[in-house]
Chain A
Amino acid sequence: MSDKKITIEFNDRVVRQFLLASVIWGAVGMLAGVLVASQLNFWQLNFSTSWLTWSHLRPLHTNAAIFALVGNMMFAGIYYSTQRLVKARLASDFLSSLHFWGWQAIIVSAACTLPFGLTRGQEYAELIWPINVAVVLMWVVFAVNFFWTLARRREPSLYVAIWFYIATIITVAMLYIVNHLAIPTSWTHSYSLFGGVQNALVQWWYGHNAVAFFLTTPILGIMYYFVPKAAERPVYSYRLSVVHFWSLVFVYIWAGPHHLLNTALPGWLQTLGMTFSLMLWAPSWGGMLNGLLTMRGAWDRVRADPVLKFFAAGVTFYGMSTFEGPMLAIKSVNALAHYTDWIIAHVHAGTLGWNGFMAAGMIYWLLPRLWNKPLYSQSLANLHFWVGLVGILLYVGAMWTSGITQGLMLNATAENGTILAYPNFLDTVNAIRPMMLMRVIGGGLYLTGWLMLAFNVWKTVRGAEPVNGSIEVSEEPAHADAGQLSLVGSFFNPPVLFSVFGVGFVCVWMFGHDFVSIAGLVGAMICTVMAYAHFGSRGRKWGDWYDKLLVNSMPFTILTFLAVVAGGMIQIIPTVITNRAANVEDRRQIPYTPLELAGRDLYVREGCYLCHSQMIRTLVPDVMRYGDYSRLGESIYDHPFQWGSKRNGPDLARVGGKYPNVWHLRHMENPRSISAGSNMPNFPWLLANALDTSTLPRKIAVQRQLGVPYPAWTDAQIAASVSAQQKVIAKDLREAGAYVAADREIIALIAYLQHLGKYEAVKPTGSAPKLAD
């Protein structure tokens, strides 16, 4: 090795760009949040205008918070820390720029499509397919830029932050691609490849792990870099990093079904979702411990330093949310909390408390270093902290109270448990109105704090000279061959083999029958005992192997991928390959008529699923309120599924036939004309717009491709069917005194709503005896 030194300059330009984008989009996302929260209180704020309506803006709010605020913040943090941790400039300036501008273009196109009803109808996966393709491309750009930089690193060993970045990149790619598989019907519309229960399972495998690998692992990596930097203290425990990293990435993937507890999802999946969520508690808290205990010895500085304040509070919120998550995943707790504001409290403790505060801490720490100028105002940053904290506490406290109140009211019964205490859903909505108002105030305070940050950023950056970090290194790159692991060395060694065989045996126990199952259990126990004994006697070798693995980025990445892919494969593959038509329990959905299908696409376009579930859970209050519990066969042909995750209004799974057509017409035009005190927006444009039937033949053709049993209709047959059904409904409305042209959108939506809950009985396969009544 020659001693000749060279100086490399880091690409901090892209870090500055992402940082500023995060500040700006964060403010936009939070502003959208305050608006949608206000709309729930004051329906007038929907302005009877489609693109300003709650159900069109809510996806904008969630997508902005996740992909724009946290996304940009994550890229800034990852690019800043990675260059320094591996002692190399980002591999390609072109890819870095492309990544930045591409990502901003995606955000802008999201903002230009979601309010106008261009959506896929799955939460956090709403963006239409051309934007999905762009996201995947940008993610590939990010991955190439990142791994190329790793390949050129001068620091052979990978620091724990890098482990989390690697897990983020490969897992988000996997989740995003699988959940967005779809067949386009036009440039702006597609049908998900999966339907009904399969779609539900894949969606929440994605949705849950978007939280895990987009909002958690990258931020943990950022924590592992910026917290020790800001605290000027060593990380608390390396071995805790190792144990909690691997347990976190392995266990997280399995927990997705906890979003579908007590639904028609098969029981074994619910059991896995609940128990793995509980097992996730300790791995998550491992991260919290390492964050908080790293600050030990720097607590005296927390009082004055806004950066440490934000980090300490952010990590504490992480600990709180990751305790609350497993608790909410307990089936009986979930029976109360699911579909209520309690879940809203939970996710905002995560995004505002954990993501938002970690972002703020990181930004305040980076500003002076990226612009070579002291922060404009420390006291304004401290004020931001306190205003933001009060904001979150008000928000979360209000939503806890609201969720528990409404949950208890919805579940309350009277007269010896034979009738509902609050049969009118609106009674439960009106009971939580004060809390909904408190939420607006809390959210408003948080936004105010963020605007203080934006002001501080502007005052600091204005007139400042951007400065790029640099480092002096030996001219020769680190010899990557030092300690290179062979294929055998990477995968055929005690820690990996014990893990693989242990998981394998446990799966044999869980899914095998009779003796195979018992053999799996015995195998798992022997494997555990052997691993314990081996670690006891040769533990040092495990450590040596791991040290070697850390200088081998490719084997490390492959092992991480294996750890994250296991849970998803075991849950999804059996569900997807089963013959759908046979796996329906005792009921099979009747496919929609062409007009009803068109109406369903309107239901998706208008974002109805954001307030109305179509899933009656196997719970007494659900059955008493909405009718017989939903069977998985009753939505098998739904692409996308619309089971929903929140009930701002009542469930609609069996609303078909419950009310006359004219009820729906009046209700969509002005909900308050039917239900006094309702906070649902008006949808008057449905009465004015003509239904676009031109894409129906193509849509039905795609549905046939997806396995929905439609006959091979000609375009003329489809048009005739649509027109005939339109006339029947229009005539019925006319007889009830409502005059609407038959070709209006509302007619199709009514046709769809009246179909909900229609099924054909199938010979029962389950063992549960059916109660006759």
Chain B
Amino acid sequence: MNPNQPKPTAEDALRPHSFDGIQEFDKRLPNWWLVTLYVTIVFWLGYWAYYEWFRTGPNDHQRIEREMAQVEAAKLASMASGQLDDASLWKMSRNPVMTAAGKATFMTMCVSCHKESLRGIDDGGIGANLRRQVWIHGGRPTDLVHTVTNGVLVKGMPTWGPVLGQKKITEVVAYVLSYHQEGEPMSVQPAAK
């Protein structure tokens, strides 16, 4: 629609008819007004396309679940700097924000030995298989934190404590634990291989 037909002569003319003495100009619509109208229409098209057509944006439920996970992660993180216990580590392993952060660390620092699958030696790597329920240095969550922090030099596991710090170590352990269930059968075989 183009209500802006240039009508220089008609601009200040009154419309012929009057209603109870009321007359009307027929001035053109102000440009800024039209731009406002068009911009809001374009915004609607774009917003609908983004959220409802392509569904690129998260819906409300996905968003609130993610945001609450972040809050939970922040709570757990403040716990991670204090005294750790098995229960809180299991809780962290179920928090997507924590495990995602752990995964990121894992995939840069640990992946060379333990492999992307975490299966380590069973997947062509040199590290232990972290998916099995049979552990070498103890399988309780706090055992894992201890192993990662202090390393097992004779087996080739470096001392990660000074490198990663407690927060990242906790996250990595949470990520490894996300492949396990609390209360699953677990055994320790100190010299498996």
Q: Chain A residues in contact with chain B, CB under 8 A?
A: 81, 84-85, 87, 155, 157, 159-160, 225, 228-229, 234-241, 243, 247, 262, 267-268, 270-271, 274-276, 278-279, 281-283, 285-286, 289, 293, 326, 415-418, 509-510, 517, 531-532, 535-536, 539, 585, 618-620, 623-624, 629, 766-773
Q: Chain B residues in contact with chain A, CB under 8 A?
A: 1-3, 5, 14-15, 17, 19-30, 33-34, 36-37, 40-41, 43-44, 47-48, 51-53, 59-65, 67-72, 74-75, 77-78, 91, 94-96
- Residue contact A234 to B44, C-beta cutoff 8 Å: no
Say which residue of B22, B23, B33 sits within 8 Å of A282 (CB atoms).
Answer: B33
Closest Cβ neighbor of B46 among chain A residues: A275
Known: A510-B52, A531-B1, A768-B59. A279 touches B37 (CB 8 A): yes
Cβ of A175 to closest chain B Cβ, rounded Å: 23
Cβ of B178 to closest chain A Cβ, rounded Å: 11
By a CB distance below 8 angstroms, the chain A residues around B61 are 585, 618, 629, 766, 768
- Residue contact B64 to A237, C-beta cutoff 8 Å: no
Q: Give chain B's interface secondary structure class.
A: helix
Closest Cβ neighbor of B67 among chain A residues: A620
Q: Give chain A's interface secondary structure class.
A: helix
By a CB distance below 8 angstroms, the chain B residues around A619 are 64
Known: A239-B3, A271-B48, A286-B33. A771 touches B68 (CB 8 A): yes
Cβ of A103 to closest chain B Cβ, rounded Å: 26
Closest Cβ neighbor of A156 among chain B residues: B17
By a CB distance below 8 angstroms, the chain A residues around B96 are 769, 771
- Residue contact A282 to B37, C-beta cutoff 8 Å: yes
- Residue contact B63 to A618, C-beta cutoff 8 Å: yes
By a CB distance below 8 angstroms, the chain A residues around B72 are 771, 773
Closest Cβ neighbor of A229 among chain B residues: B22
- Residue contact A282 to B78, C-beta cutoff 8 Å: no
- Residue contact A85 to B19, C-beta cutoff 8 Å: yes
- Residue contact B33 to A418, C-beta cutoff 8 Å: no
By a CB distance below 8 angstroms, the chain B residues around A84 are 20
By a CB distance below 8 angstroms, the chain A residues around B14 are 234
A424 CA to B13 CA, complexed, in Å = 64
- Residue contact A278 to B40, C-beta cutoff 8 Å: yes
A102 CA to B17 CA, complexed, in Å = 37
Cβ of A238 to closest chain B Cβ, rounded Å: 4
| 20 extra A-B contacts, CB within 8 A, seeds A243-B3, A766-B61 | A159-B22, A234-B14, A234-B23, A235-B23, A236-B25, A237-B26, A239-B28, A267-B59, A278-B40, A282-B34, A282-B36, A418-B75, A535-B2, A618-B60, A618-B64, A768-B59, A768-B61, A769-B96, A771-B69, A773-B91
A84 CA to B20 CA, complexed, in Å = 6
Say which residue of B21, B44, B78 sits within 8 Å of A278 (CB atoms).
Answer: B44
By a CB distance below 8 angstroms, the chain A residues around B62 are 767-768
- Residue contact A235 to B52, C-beta cutoff 8 Å: no
A243 CA to B71 CA, complexed, in Å = 49
A268 CA to B71 CA, complexed, in Å = 27
- Residue contact A279 to B64, C-beta cutoff 8 Å: no
By a CB distance below 8 angstroms, the chain A residues around B52 are 267-268, 271, 510
- Pairs across A and B, CB under 8 Å, 20 listed: A157-B19, A229-B21, A229-B22, A234-B14, A234-B25, A239-B3, A270-B60, A275-B47, A278-B43, A279-B44, A282-B34, A417-B74, A517-B53, A532-B1, A535-B1, A618-B60, A618-B61, A629-B61, A771-B94, A772-B94
A337 CA to B14 CA, complexed, in Å = 45
Cβ of A480 to closest chain B Cβ, rounded Å: 17
- Residue of A81, A237, A286 ringed by the most chain B CB atoms within 10 A: A237
Closest Cβ neighbor of A241 among chain B residues: B24
- Residue contact A238 to B15, C-beta cutoff 8 Å: yes
A274 CA to B48 CA, complexed, in Å = 10
A276 CA to B28 CA, complexed, in Å = 25
A234 CA to B23 CA, complexed, in Å = 5
Cβ of B68 to closest chain A Cβ, rounded Å: 6
- Residue contact A276 to B2, C-beta cutoff 8 Å: no
Cβ of B103 to closest chain A Cβ, rounded Å: 16
A85 CA to B47 CA, complexed, in Å = 43
By a CB distance below 8 angstroms, the chain A residues around B19 are 85, 155, 157, 159
